Amino acid sequence: MRAVSVGSGRPRLLAAILAGGAASRYGGRPKGLLEIAPGLTIIENEIRQLRRAGLGEIVIVANDAQPYSELGLQVIPDLRSGCGPLAGIEAALSHSARRFEATLFLPCDLPGITAKEISRLCTAFANAQARIAVCTTGPCSVQPLCTVVQNGLLPEIAAALDRGERSPRRLWHHLGALQVSFADAAPFHNVNEPADLAAWLAGRENPGAGNSCGSQPNA
C-alpha cells in the first residue's frame, strides 16, 4: 500500500488502533470486538470512520493477532511487553516511520467516534504544525489515546519508556502537546467496563441519557 495524505496540505498519516489491553473486565474478550449493532463491532466501526476521514492505511496494535484475523489489517505487536499503551504507540511509530510523517491513534473502545472528530484532529495537527495533537473534552478531560504524533518523536518516546514512563497523558504534557478541544464528549465515550457499553447503547436510543465519557482510561 502507498502512503496517503489526508486532505490537501495534510501530512501523510498512518492510522493505528490500540488494542493491546487485557480487557479483564470482559473476561479477556477484546473490547474492540464487542458488537454495537448487529454484525458491527466497535473496531469495525472505527475502521469505517477512519476510512471516511481519508486514512487509507490502518494497522492494529495488539500482541495477539488472532482475534483480528478476519479484519484484513496488519497487526503490530509491542516492541516491549508489560509497558501499557505507550509501548503500543512506540511500536506503531517504529512501524510507520519510514513511509509516513505522523501516526493517528485511537483506542479500540470508542463506539461513538466518527470521521468528523478524526478529520478535525488531523486538520488541527496539520494547521498548527504540531509535534503532538491530543483531543480534550474539557479542561480536565484529556483523551490521551486520541492523538496524532509526529513519527520523529519516536526516540523521545522510547527514551521515556526506558526511564520508566508509562503514562501517555503525562508524556504528552511534558512534550507540549497541542490540545484540540471538543465540546461534545459523547464520541469519546469509552467502554472500559460492561456498564460503559450499556450506558452508550442507552444513550444512542435516548440521546442525553448516556453521553458521558465512560470510565476514564488509566493513561
Q: What is the pLDDT of residue 1?
A: 30
Q: Which of 180, 25, 199 is nearest to 116 (CA)?
A: 180
d(CA 188, CA 186) in angstroms, rounded, equals: 5
For 91-121, write each residue's pLDDT tens digit: 999 999 999 999 999 999 999 999 999 999 9
Between 139 and 49, residue with greater pLDDT: 49
d(CA 181, CA 156) in angstroms, rounded, equals: 25
For 159-168, write each residue's pLDDT tens digit: 999 999 999 9
pTM assigned to the model: 0.88
463491532: which residue's cell?
41
Backbone angles phi, psi at 35, to 5 degrees: -85, 135
Of the pLDDT bands very low, low, confident and very high (cuts 50, 70, 90), residue 208 is low
Sorted by where each begins, the domain ranges of the chain are 13-205
128's CB contacts (< 8 A; 6+ apart) are 178
d(CA 123, CA 138) in angstroms, rounded, equals: 20
Question: Is the pLDDT assigned to residue 196 strictly greater than 50?
Answer: yes
Question: Is the pLDDT assigned to residue 6 strictly greater than 50?
Answer: no
Question: Is the pLDDT assigned to residue 147 strictly greater than 50?
Answer: yes
Beta strands 40-41; 35-37: pairing state = antiparallel
- Average pLDDT rounded to a whole number, residues 56-79: 95
CATH superfamily of 13-205: Spore Coat Polysaccharide Biosynthesis Protein SpsA; Chain A (3.90.550.10)
| Mean per-residue pLDDT of the chain | 88
Amino acid letter for position 80: R
The gap between the terminal CA atoms of the chain, to the nearest Å, is 31
- The 3 state secondary structure assigned to the chain is CCCCECCCCCCEEEEEEECCCCCHHHCCCCHHHCEEECCEEHHHHHHHHHHHCCCCCEEEECCCCHHHHHHCCEEECCCCCCCCHHHHHHHHHHHHCCCCCEEEEEECCCCCCCHHHHHHHHHHHHHHCCCEEEEECCCCCEEEEEEEEEHHHHHHHHHHHHCCCCCHHHHHHHCCCEEEECCCCHHHCECCCHHHHHHHHHHHHCCCCCCCCECCCCC
